[in-house]
Amino acid sequence: MIAQADIGMLDGLERALINGRLHMVYQPKISLSDGRLRRVEALVRWDDPELGTIPPSRFVPLAEKHGLIDQMTQWGLRTTLRQWLSWVEQGIDTCLAFNISALSLDQLDFPDLVERMCTALDVPTDRLVLELTEGATQPLIKLMDTLTRFRIKGIGLAIDDFGVGYSTLMQLRQLPFTELKIDRFFVEDAPTSADSALIVKSIIELAHGLGLTVTAEGVETEDQLKLLRDLGCDVAQGYFVAQPLKPEDLIPWLDRFEERWHMIIGEQPQLPLRIPRRYMG
């Protein structure tokens, strides 16, 4: 039976989708070797005039359970692809990371739909990485066909929350992932706990052995960032680098981060972090 509070929220979410009350924010992911912007992760937000601010951890599972997730995913992806075009016009040609519910992967034609959306908006598919989390009821290995279709189309695949979920490195060997995101649980303790640091180091080494790019999530301190860099982690994401940003705040953040990066790492700037590139699409 559906709880009364859930009914109110579900109605509110349907209204929010219809009335355009959801919006996306974007969190930068930077390269730990040189501080450059590698991607931005799109995260959905819902500020409701009646219900207040509702976190995605609350309403995404509700949308999944009650059949609104496809509508939400398509709206979010379209919004994010349009935003990419706007950044390209401003000289920033970065990759996009977008969270996909494992439920959407049940549909074999989903990769075609995503490709059509990219084509319609003139966004090259290699600028898109989909972030997936393995759930208890939905082993990713069962979705091999769908995952392979994405890769054939040039779309990247990241395994999210690695280390706390159900995925193992053994499984990853069989799946066509391009990136592994270490959960922030391990990142948090790494500078103070030898065990956590060892786990992070081992995940990085094994993931590299499988040819995956490794991202650390939830980087909140300078110590964490420096340790991850020393351990050979490729990409960092977290509040220490940047909070999730409104689209118009990305370029001002990038301009400030360039100076900050050189102060953190203690190197003299060689090249500007932001090299404007022309859109070749």
Alpha carbons 169 and 253: distance in angstroms, whole number: 35
239 binds, options Ca ion, ligand C2E, none, Cβ within 5 to 8 A by partner type = ligand C2E
Q: Site for Ca ion (CB under 5 A): which residue of 73, 99, 196, 213?
A: 99
Provide the b/e sequence for 146-185 (b: ≥16 CB within 10 Å): bbebbeeeebbbbbbbbbeeebebeebeebebbbbbbbbe
Residue with tokens 């931005």: 40
Question: Does 115 interact with Ca ion (rule: CB under 5 A)?
Answer: no
Instruction: Tally Cβ neighbours within 10 Å of residue 211.
Output: 8
Alpha carbons 4 and 142: distance in angstroms, whole number: 34
Question: Does 134 interact with Ca ion (rule: CB under 5 A)?
Answer: no
Question: Does 55 interact with ligand C2E (rule: CB under 6 A)?
Answer: yes
238 binds, options Ca ion, ligand C2E, none, Cβ within 5 to 8 A by partner type = ligand C2E
Q: Site for Ca ion (CB under 5 A): which residue of 131, 179, 188, 234?
A: 131
From the list 104-112, 126-134, 148-156, 208-216, the region that binds Ca ion by CB under 5 A is 126-134
Q: x/- contact string, 197-226, with Ca ion (CB under 5 A)?
A: --------------------x---------
Provide the b/e sequence for 79-95 (b: ≥16 CB within 10 Å): bbbebbeebbeeebbbb
Task: Report, in Å, the least distance between residue 205 CB and ligand C2E.
Answer: 23
Nearer to Ca ion, 68 or 187 (CB): 187
CB 101 within 8 A of CB 126: no
Give the footprint of ligand C2E on this chain (CB under 6 A): 27, 43-44, 55-57, 60, 76, 99-101, 131, 160-161, 184, 218-220, 238-239, 244
